Amino acid sequence: MDAGDRPARLAVGVLGAGKVGSVLGAALAQAGHRVVAASGVSDGSHRRAVERLGLTPTTAEEVVRRSELVLLTVPDDALPGLAAGLAATGAGLRGKLLVHTSGAYGLAVLEPAVRAGAIPLALHPVMTFTGRDDDVRRLTGCSFGVTASEQFRPVAEALVIEMGGEPVWVAEADRALYHAAIAGAANHMVTLIAESSELLRTIGVDNPGRMLGPLLGAALDNVLRLGIAGLTGPVVRGDAGTVRKHVDALILAAPEAADAYVALARLTADRALAAGLLKPEAAERLLDALGGNIWT
């Protein structure tokens, strides 16, 4: 990136200095920007503002007043109210960059603030944050789902690159589907693995992580390299009897997990059939084992 493409060194404020806000604030500080103010509601946010940003938390109005770039790093459901509230209070938004980090929202959620003169950007880091110190390092090479007007795309791109990330452009109309895709992959994977670990513990496996780690690492590598062609297991083999045994065992041990297994097995069979990995007659046997129609 040419020096002329870089944004000027900015005074940065963080509204919501939690796990995400404190990390992005620290990353911008490492890039040479000045983090000048932060706010937070929880004790954890207050602690991170002090420990990670070196700031004593203040009010939202004071954060906006002192900043040229304001990070809105609050939960998704709080974002519309925050944007409307900032506009309604008459906070000095004119000419200031207002950057939210929600995956589900684009620029429209900031419209009340835009009418008050703010410049909106949506920069969503495709990363899970734990609140640990290594979160900042995880930004290196991390994709950001970016939505910005054509005029401010260079600014959005420069900010993401300065934080160590890689911008991926997402249209306003596509934000919900974009977020459903990445949240479904990451969040549901955690649920599935936690459920599998618990089932293994119930049959006496002391360290499920040791058992699952190599398997899951290989499965993740396969799907990222090969897509659905990397699928293995009883569904793609058409082993209807094995799948039925799985369902019966889960109904007895964990009925809530059985419903999820059936739904995912149907989706797996559907995709395998469409990709030519599963023959129609094998799909019919799986249909009977799963007790429903995989094409509906």
pLDDT of residue 131: 77
Task: Tell me the CA distances in angstroms from 233 to 156, 219, 254, one per residue in order.
Answer: 43, 11, 21
Polymer length of the chain: 296
Give 71's strand partners.
14, 99
Q: What is the pLDDT of residues 168-220, one digit of tens each?
A: 999 999 999 999 999 999 999 999 999 999 999 999 999 999 999 999 999 99
Q: How far apart are CA 162 and CA 38, in angstroms?
A: 20
Q: What is the pLDDT of residues 219-237, one digit of tens each?
A: 999 999 999 999 999 999 9
Percent of the chain's residues with pLDDT above 90:
84
As given in the structure block, the two tokens for residue 189 are 């994977």
How many CB atoms are located within 10 Å of the residue 179 CB? 19
Q: Which CATH class is domain 3-170?
A: alpha beta
Q: How far apart are CA 248 and CA 261, in angstroms?
A: 11
Domain definitions of the chain by residue range: 3-170, 177-290
DSSP state of 105: -
- Residue pair 60/15 in contact (Cβ under 8 Å)? The answer is yes
From 114, 25, 26, select the one nearest 69 (Cα to Cα). Answer: 25
pLDDT of residue 198: 97
Q: How confident is the model at residue 3 (pLDDT cuts 50, 70, 90)?
A: very low
Q: How confident is the model at residue 49 (pLDDT cuts 50, 70, 90)?
A: confident
- Look up residue 8 and give its amino acid: A
Q: What are phi and psi of 70, to 5 degrees?
A: -115, 120
pLDDT of residue 5: 53
How many CB atoms are located within 10 Å of the residue 166 CB? 14
Q: What is the pLDDT of residues 81-110, one digit of tens each?
A: 999 999 998 778 999 999 999 999 999 999
- Residue pair 9/32 in contact (Cβ under 8 Å)? The answer is yes
Region 132-153: mean pLDDT is: 93
pLDDT, mean over the chain: 92
As given in the structure block, the two tokens for residue 158 are 């420069």
As given in the structure block, the two tokens for residue 165 are 């990330």
From 121, 126, 120, select the one nearest 157 (Cα to Cα). Answer: 121
| Whether residue 292 has pLDDT greater than 60 | no
- Residue pair 261/214 in contact (Cβ under 8 Å)? The answer is no
Q: Does domain 177-290 have CATH number 2.40.50?
A: no
Q: How confident is the model at residue 133 (pLDDT cuts 50, 70, 90)?
A: confident
| Whether residue 2 has pLDDT greater than 70 | no
Q: How far apart are CA 209 and CA 196, in angstroms?
A: 10
What secondary structure, in 3-state letters, does 131-163 show? Answer: CCCCHHHHCCCCEEEEECCHHHHHHHHHHHHHC
What secondary structure, in 3-state letters, does 197-252 show? Answer: HHHHHHCCCCCHHHHHHHHHHHHHHHHHHHHHHHCCCHHHHCCHHHHHHHHHHHHH
pLDDT of residue 296: 38
Region 12-37: mean pLDDT is: 95
